[in-house]
Amino acid sequence: MMQRVAGSFVLAGAILCNTAPAAAQSPHTHHHSFGDAATWAKVFDDPRRDAWQKPHEVIAALALPPDAAVADIGAGTGYFAVRLARMLPRGQVYAIDTEPAMVRHLETRARREGLPHLAAIQGELADPRIPAPVDLILLVDVYHHIDARERYFAQLRASLKPGGRIAVIDFRMDAPIGPPRAARIAPDAVVAELGRAGYAPAGGHGFLPNQYFLLFTPAMR
């Protein structure tokens, strides 16, 4: 059965176990209540995460034009979405989460930080409900939470503009932090699943210490 498609769940385990790698995220992490988004923001947006998540390097590596449209699926409290909005001043960022408290937090944060081009979207488990086609769909530490992935990603093709890409960042099998090894998806499996969903590999990057960083485009039909 599918876990919630929200960065909230996986990031809680990843960040909390960053200081204690032996205590990797357990399945119980998925049952935490995230009603108090302001409290969880202190965990998800902990500056110590920057050392291994390298958010600015990730966004720079995506080489997006300043007017790009991006959907951040599993946006949580906005760790990537807010940075994307700041680095894409003429673009549009959709911060998508299935947790209502996170969506409300994102709405408030966008207003507080003066980011009118950052829109918080209430997604569904089987449909992120991206409002309009985008240049990039970003999934950070979310891929392994999605059920029926081939169907899910096949449907996402309609949400990509011509030339659009999907970026998948998730924990390597040997990473000392993250979900239990049994819950992780190897990068070769990601390539195979997205291939069956109608995508072709479009490169990637190897600078993240704990995660793979893969790019895909819709395959020619």
Residue 150's pLDDT is what? 97
> What φ, ψ does residue 20 adopt, rounded to 5°?
-145, 75
- The dotted CATH code for 7-218 is 3.40.50.150
> What φ, ψ does residue 70 adopt, rounded to 5°?
-130, 140
Percent of the chain at pLDDT > 70 equals 79
Q: What is the mean pLDDT of residues 107-132?
A: 97
Residue 6's pLDDT is what? 45
Q: Enter the tokens of residue 171.
A: 């924990």
Q: Enter the tokens of residue 160.
A: 């990509």
**Buried residues in 164-180 as b, exposed as e (16+ CB within 10 A):** bbbbbbbbeeebebbbe
- Looking at per-residue confidence, does 22 or 128 come out higher? 128
pLDDT value at 76 more than 80? yes
CB 97, CB 8: distance < 8 Å: yes
Residue 188's pLDDT is what? 98
Q: What is the mean pLDDT of residues 93-104?
A: 95
Residue 38's pLDDT is what? 52
Where exactly are the structural domains of the chain? 7-218
Least confident among 15-19, 47-51, 164-168: 15-19
Summarised one tens digit per residue, pLDDT across range 126-178 is 999 999 999 999 999 999 999 999 999 999 999 999 999 999 999 999 999 99
Instruction: Kindly write down the DSSP assignment for every residue of the chain, as one continuous string.
Output: -PPP--HHHHHHHHHHTTS-TTSPPPGGGGG-----HHHHHHHHT-GGGHHHH-HHHHHHHHT--TT-EEEEET-TTTHHHHHHHHH-TTSEEEEEES-HHHHHHHHHHHHHTT-TTEEEEE-BTTB---SS-EEEEEEES-GGG-SSHHHHHHHHGGGEEEEEEEEEEEE-TT-SSSS-GGG---HHHHHHHHHHTTEEEEEEE---SSEEEEEEEEPP-
State which amino acid sits at residue 192.
A
Of the candidates 208, 213, 179, 6, the one whose C-alpha atom is nearest the C-alpha of residue 105 is: 6
Residue 25's pLDDT is what? 22
CB 23, CB 168: distance < 8 Å: no
Mean model confidence pLDDT for the chain? 85
Residue 221's pLDDT is what? 67
Q: What is the mean pLDDT of residues 54-82?
A: 97
pLDDT band at 36 (very low <50, low <70, confident <90, very high): low
Residue 59's pLDDT is what? 98
**CA distance linking residue 122 with residue 189, whole number of Å:** 28
